[in-house]
Structure 1
Amino acid sequence: MNGVFCVAVHALIFLDKRNCMLSSEELAANICTNPARVRRVMSKLKKAGLVTTKTGNEGGYHLLRKAGEITLKEIADALEVRFVEPAWHSGGTDLPCMVASGMAEVMDGLFDDLDQRCRDRMAQLRLSDLETQLEHAAARKEMTHGL
């Protein structure tokens, strides 16, 4: 998985929590990345119908649906993210050894299966589930720091 998915989830949850139009600069400051990266990610989310945009001085991004209605799989699909993929293939298809010539195909099958399992799990999770986790984490911090 790459950071694009993390940027998207962070931005969408922040938009939901703030419940207002936010610029790419405001989102980038909260995500700790640059506005150009945010704009690239958000353009894909807009195309998927997850956010709307407004141009101009008062412009920015706004969440179109409630966090409880958006699955993490929808976000991944909008971004065309693969959760599990090889960064490198061993062996070579032109080699005479069965292991060397077939390992890449076998590993690709394994990675495809694992990616699908991640997608199945992401279909069960909603943005609101992560918001709940954030709230619990904040409460734990508050309890720890308040003692």
Structure 2
Amino acid sequence: MKDKVSSTKWFGLALQSLLVLAEHDGICPSSMMAQKLEAQSTFLRKILANLVKAGIISAKEGRDGGYYLARDASEISLKDVYDAMRSDPYSQGFLDVNSHECFTASTRSALYNLKDEMESWLVEGLAKKTVADLLPKEIR
């Protein structure tokens, strides 16, 4: 089983979790986050584990435990979140060419190059935004 996932659903839930933590004062239990996000606790904890491993959030264990941002929301880029959640490029499988008869080698190569370009566009765009950019102005 992979340590990280390429699912956009996981990225979206990770980002939403960070927004909840940024708006929450203090340590937030995963059960409270799961309730707010209407997500399954076990599924959410897998996502949170990846964010802890990446140093984006910290965890406090025990009865009064939970999660909190490891650094200010303005210092967490969306690329950081994307990198923490992925094992394969977002565009993996997007432009894969199965047929060797339908396209020439140069067309197949152009499609593969486009897939790589798309991934770099995505990563460059995510690097320009932070979690704080998504928060209401009064919270930033």
TM over 0.5: yes
Select 1:113's aligned residue among 103, 110, 117.
117
Instruction: List runs of 5+ in structure 1 lacking aligned partners.
Output: 136-147
Select 1:63's aligned residue among 46, 59, 69.
69
Task: Please tell me the root mean square deviation across aligned C-alpha atoms, in Å.
Answer: 2.3
* Alpha-carbon distance in structure 2 between the residues aligned to 1:7 and 1:65: 19
Give the conservation status (yes or no) of the 8 Å contact 1:21–1:59.
yes
Give the conservation status (yes or no) of the 8 Å contact 1:85–1:112.
no
- 1:102 deviates by 6.3
TM-score (norm 1): 0.77
Q: Which has the higher contact order (CA 8 A, sep 6+)?
A: 2
The answer as to 2:78 corresponding to 1:78 is no
Identity within the alignment, %: 23
Structure holding more helix per residue:
1
TM-score (norm 2): 0.81
Alignment CA distance shift 1:123-1:88 (3 Å):
closer
Q: After TM superposition, which residue ranges in structure 1, 4 or more long, deviate above 4 angstroms? A: 100-105
Give the AA of the match of 2:73. Answer: A
Give the AA of the match of 1:110. Answer: L
